[in-house]
């Protein structure tokens, strides 16, 4: 970065002071919080995250240094619930991703459905997209989820959101854009499934295994017994 656009030392110092102020406000909000989802704590957290990010960027631009802190991102998290205390309506939003792992298996299943249930034999089962239409038209989504391998599908990420509302939607009100007007503050709960979580657990297990292996090596070194009859030179063992 050129000197002309580098932040000044004073700007970096001011950003550091902003982090200190935001940190104090966050602690005060936590100490005064009224419940698990206190909006004041959520707001203070966001302010602290923004201040820390701004300071980190200025510090890097001016001194080519970074902070040792990593504040979790808030873009993928839900804000505190701000919906009705006693909802009169609930919406369940579900997304499940699949890979067509075995197209021939999918086509074979669709052909069985078509032969059994469709007298006109429109031959929709001859294409993958047609087979998918038959499959999802014949079975409930939960049944497909439980039998996905049987249908030649491979599970990807999935998520389920439960949202609350004061009143039920009018018939046909949201059919044109069913997922467009979701208010994150109306979400009661959500459940996510992803291979990313499995990878994180595997990484943690690998780290534990590495620690255990290192401890085993240390124990082996500690438990070495030397034959008194052998004339061995002393060894320096680095730990």
> What pLDDT does residue 232 have?
40
pTM listed for this prediction: 0.52
Residue 226 reports pLDDT greater than 70: no
Q: What is the pLDDT of residues 137-176, one digit of tens each?
A: 999 999 999 999 999 999 999 999 999 999 998 999 999 8
User: Residue 78: is it exposed, middle or buried by C-beta count within 10 angstroms (0-12/13-18/19+)?
Assistant: middle
- Is the confidence at residue 216, as pLDDT, over 90? no
Domains of the chain, residue spans: 3-63, 78-98+154-210, 102-151
Roughly how many angstroms between the first and final C-alpha of the chain, as a whole number? 43
The pLDDT tens digits of the residues spanning 92-123 come to 999 999 999 999 999 999 888 888 876 655 56
Tokens of 59: 């510090």
Q: How far apart are CA 54 and CA 12, in angstroms?
A: 9
Average pLDDT over residues 82-95: 90
Q: 56: closest CA among 12, 22, 9?
A: 12
Span 14-68, pLDDT tens digits: 999 999 999 999 999 999 988 777 888 888 888 898 899 899 989 999 999 988 8
C-alpha R_g of the chain: 29
Q: What's the burial of 20, exposed, middle or buried (CB within 10 Å: 0-12/13-18/19+)? A: exposed
Instruction: Round to whole Å and give the CA distance between 27 and 47.
Output: 12
More confident residue, 133 or 81: 133
Average pLDDT for 222-234: 47
| Confidence (pLDDT) at 147 | 94
pLDDT of residue 66: 85
pLDDT of 19: 93
34: its two tokens = 């009224």
Phi, psi angles (nearest 5°) of residue 70: -130, 110
Confidence check: pLDDT of 181 > 80 = no
- Provide the pLDDT for residue 114: 84
- How far does CA 204 lie from the centroid of its chain? 16
The 10 Å CB-count burial string (b at 16+, else e) for 174-206 is eeeeeeeeeeeebbeeeeeeeeeeeeeeeeeee
* Distance from C-alpha of 207 to C-alpha of 213, rounded to nearest angstrom: 10
* Confidence band, pLDDT 50/70/90 cuts, at residue 192: confident
User: Which of 37, 47, 35 minimizes the C-alpha distance to 189?
Assistant: 37
């Amino acid at each position: 970065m050129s000197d002309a656009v580098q932040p000044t030392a004073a700007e970096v110092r001011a950003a550091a002071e902003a982090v200190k102020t935001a940190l104090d406000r966050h602690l005060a909000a936590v100490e005064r919080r009224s419940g698990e989802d206190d909006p004041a704590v959520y707001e203070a957290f966001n302010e602290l995250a923004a201040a820390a990010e701004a300071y980190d960027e200025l510090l890097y631009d001016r001194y080519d240094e970074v902070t040792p802190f990593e504040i979790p991102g808030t873009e993928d998290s839900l804000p505190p619930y701000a919906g009705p205390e006693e909802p009169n309506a609930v919406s369940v939003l579900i997304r499940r991703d699949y890979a067509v792992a075995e197209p021939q298996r999918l086509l074979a299943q669709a052909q069985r459905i078509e032969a059994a249930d469709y007298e006109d034999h429109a031959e929709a089962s001859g294409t993958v997209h047609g087979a998918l239409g038959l499959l999802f038209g014949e079975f409930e989504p939960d049944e497909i989820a439980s039998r996905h391998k049987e249908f030649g599908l491979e599970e990807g990420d999935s998520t389920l959101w439960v949202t609350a509302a004061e009143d039920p939607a009018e018939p046909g009100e949201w059919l044109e854009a069913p997922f467009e007007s979701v208010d994150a503050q109306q979400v009661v709960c959500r459940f996510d499934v992803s291979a990313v979580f499995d990878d994180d657990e595997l990484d943690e297990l690998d780290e534990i295994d590495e620690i255990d292996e290192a401890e085993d090596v240390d124990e082996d070194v500690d438990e070495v017994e030397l034959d008194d009859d052998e004339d061995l030179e002393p060894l320096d063992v680095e730990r």
